[in-house]
Structures are given as C-alpha cells and as structure tokens.
C-alpha cells in the first residue's frame, strides 16, 4: 500500500486486512510504503506490527504513488503481489476473491473493478468525477479492453512483475495500467467491488496528476506501438504546422510583401514544428544540442519537400490516371514526403542512441 498522510485510515484498514487474512487462511505480509508523511505513520505502524504481519518502508528521496508501489513490490518475497489504496476506498474483504482468482483461474492479472456487473461507486460521486473517470477509461482503450483499467486494487504474479521490472517507468498514479501493458497480461479477470469514498484525509488526485496521466499514456503508446506511435505524433504536429503557417502568413501580409511573407511564414511553421517534435514526439532527445538538431531538422524538411515534389511530378507525368487528378497526386506526395522526413528525424536528427533519456 502506497501511503502519504493516511495514518487515520491505516489505523482502521490494517486490522481489517489482518482479520481477512486470518479468516481465509492466507499467509501474507502487508507492506506499507510511505514518503515521510508527517502524520506519525511510523509510530502507528510500529504499534500495528505487534498484531499484524506489517512491514514499513520509508522512502527519503523519491515521491509518487507508482514508484512507491514498485518499491513495495521490490521488497516483497511472495509469489503473488496485491496492491490496494490506503484510504479505505477498496474493501479488504475482497482480498480473498482476488487472490484465489489469480491463483486458481490461470489469470495473469486480477482487478477489483468498479465497472463490471456487481461493481459500484460511492453515492457521493458527482457527475464530474464520474465523467472524468469515464474519459480516463476511454483513453486507455488502445492498451486494454478491461472495464476498469484505472483501478488501484489489483493482483499479479511476482514473476510477471520481475520479467518486466527493467522496463517499468510509470509517471503519475496509474501503475495498474503500466503493469498490464508492460507485463503483457492477456488473461485479465475483473472482480466486482464497491468503491467507497474516503472519510479521512484528502484525495491525491490533482490537475498535475491528470497531466501526468497524459504523459503516462504517451509513454505506453510509444512502448506498445513503437514507430507507429512516433509517426502519429509526427503527423499531428505536421498538420498543426499548416495552421501555424496560415495564421502567420495572414498576419505577415500586413507588413511584408507576398514572397517575403510566404518565406517567413514557412520558416515560422517549420520552427514551431521542430520545437514540438523535439519536446513531444521525440522527447527522449530534448537534451541534445539544439542547434545541431535544428539544422538537421531543416535539412530533413527540405529533403522531404523534394521527395514530395518529385512524387507528385512523377505520378502526374507517368501515370495516366493522375494526369487530371493533380490534387490526389499531391496528397500522395505529401504522405511520401512526410514519411521520408519522419525517417530522417527518427533515426538521424533525433537519434535515440545519441542522447541520454
């Protein structure tokens, strides 16, 4: 359990978990990972450990839910790992169901789910929170079809975790989605639970965490889809460059003559595309020397433009079908030019092996 300022909840939760373990004859240890919260959690855990199989890990230099979960998994020795929140939102009475589903049904991953039949959320959830949860779930669809991929209550085999340990790099709080994707879980079972709103302490969900979720999705997108993911981002930024170009041109025409205005607008859109690609599409390379990358990017754009022009001209002059379909030929030329430009950027301008990520 990752915790920060959850002492009041742990005082209630740990005895409940211990009772569930005893009643179901499950041998387990409870690992609490906290980031030096100033609420006396260390003293509380010392007291609770006298009657519960409790182990406290205090982190001094790291912060964050996802990395806290990984720290706890690193310290665990059992063959089955289970994660739950410390704010009493997840019912500990459901622990045996998750445990036996993973152990006996040949599952790779088991989720305590709010959204399958029989699952529910607290009545105090407002429409905005429900809407926010549904949007986050929908955004995870490229990675999994489970109904509650945002769940923080789940279990998996320790060996699956160890197999993926070196490639885990979560950001934010959705560690379950990270594990499902990078542990390559196929058989995922969802156990219905009632998700209860906390009564003590404050929620850790903030606007910053929502931004981190978007960053996390980007990382998973690149992990799962590789060059398709990079090309999709590259194409979207390329389309945004068209908007920048037209906006810049409409303004510049008020002060400059047409040829100069067109040239400057092209330069502005090329420069904004460079900055966006450097910081978003190929963010792993953003610490490399910027001037060298900028010159390389401009060169790749020129070569891409040449292949765009060449493709269009060859299609129109060599294939009868395109003689009266210049716009279609130009569209194909754009795709060819963009692809050529992408290859140069991916493997030369923003080459991964040349930079420290």
Q: What is the pLDDT of residues 284-342, one digit of tens each?
A: 999 999 999 999 999 999 999 999 999 999 998 888 898 888 889 988 999 999 999 99
pLDDT value of residue 199:
65
**Residue 357 binned pLDDT confidence (cut-offs 50, 70, 90):** very low
For residue 46, give both structure tokens: 């010392």
Q: Identify the three-state secondary structure at position 149.
A: coil
- What is the reported pTM? 0.81
pLDDT(105) > 80:
no
Q: Provide, for the chain, the percentages of residues in helix, strand and coil under a 3-state DSSP scheme, each rounded to the nearest 5.
A: 60, 10, 30
Q: How is 213-245 classified by DSSP, letter by letter?
A: HHHHHHHHHHHHHTHHHHHHHHHHHHHHHHHHH
User: Does residue 112 contact residue 154 with C-beta atoms inside 8 Å?
Assistant: yes
The DSSP code for 355 is S
**Residue 39 binned pLDDT confidence (cut-offs 50, 70, 90):** confident
pLDDT value of residue 355:
40
Q: How far apart are CA 167 and CA 152, in angstroms?
A: 20
C-alpha dist (Å) from residue 239 to 54, 250, 327, 328, 342: 54, 17, 17, 17, 13
Q: Identify the three-state secondary structure at position 58.
A: strand
- H-helix or E-strand spanning residue 131: helix 127-139
Per-residue pLDDT of 221-242, as tens digits, reads: 999 999 999 999 999 999 999 8
pLDDT value of residue 124:
78
Q: How far apart are CA 297 and CA 320, in angstroms?
A: 35
User: Does residue 57 contact residue 69 with C-beta atoms inside 8 Å?
Assistant: no
φ and ψ at 260, to 5 degrees?
A: -70, -40
pLDDT value of residue 230:
95
Render the burial of 318-339: b for 16+ CB within 10 Å, e for the rest: eeeebeeeeeebbebbbebbbb
- Please report where in the chains the tokens 């859109």 appear, as a residue: 269
pLDDT(51) > 60:
yes
Per-residue pLDDT of 140-161, as tens digits, reads: 999 999 999 999 999 999 999 9
């Amino acid at each position: 359990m990752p915790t920060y300022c959850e002492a009041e909840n742990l005082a209630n939760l740990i005895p409940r978990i211990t009772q569930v373990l005893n009643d179901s004859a499950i041998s387990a240890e409870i690992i609490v990972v906290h980031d030096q919260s100033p609420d006396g959690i260390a003293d509380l855990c010392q007291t609770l450990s006298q009657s519960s199989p409790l182990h406290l890990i205090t982190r001094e230099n790291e912060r964050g839910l996802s990395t806290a979960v990984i720290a706890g998994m690193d310290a665990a020795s059992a063959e089955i790992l289970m994660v739950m929140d410390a704010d009493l939102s997840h019912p500990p009475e459901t622990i045996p169901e998750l445990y036996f589903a993973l152990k006996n049904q040949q599952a790779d991953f088991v989720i305590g789910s709010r959204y399958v039949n029989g699952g529910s959320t607290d009545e105090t959830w407002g429409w905005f929170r429900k809407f926010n949860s549904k949007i986050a779930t929908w955004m995870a669809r490229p990675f999994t079809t489970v109904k509650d991929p945002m769940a923080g209550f789940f279990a998996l085999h320790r060996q699956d975790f160890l197999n993926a340990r070196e490639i885990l790099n979560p950001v934010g709080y959705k560690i379950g989605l990270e594990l499902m994707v990078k542990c390559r879980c196929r058989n995922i079972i969802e156990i219905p639970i009632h998700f209860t709103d906390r009564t003590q302490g404050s929620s850790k969900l903030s606007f910053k965490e929502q931004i981190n979720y978007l960053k996390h999705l980007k990382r998973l997108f690149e992990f799962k889809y590789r060059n398709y993911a990079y090309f999709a981002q590259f194409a979207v930024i390329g389309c945004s460059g068209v908007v920048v170009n037209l906006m810049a041109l409409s303004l510049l025409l008020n002060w400059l003559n047409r040829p100069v205005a067109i040239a400057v607008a092209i330069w502005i859109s090329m420069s904004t595309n460079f900055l966006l690609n450097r910081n978003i599409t190929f963010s792993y390379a953003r610490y490399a020397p910027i001037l060298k990358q900028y010159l390389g990017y401009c060169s790749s754009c020129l070569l891409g433009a040449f292949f765009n022009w060449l493709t269009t001209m060859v299609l129109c002059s060599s294939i009868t079908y395109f003689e009266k379909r210049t716009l279609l030929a130009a569209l194909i030329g754009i795709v060819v030019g963009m692809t050529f430009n992408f290859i140069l950027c991916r493997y030369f301008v923003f080459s991964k092996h040349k930079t420290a990520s």
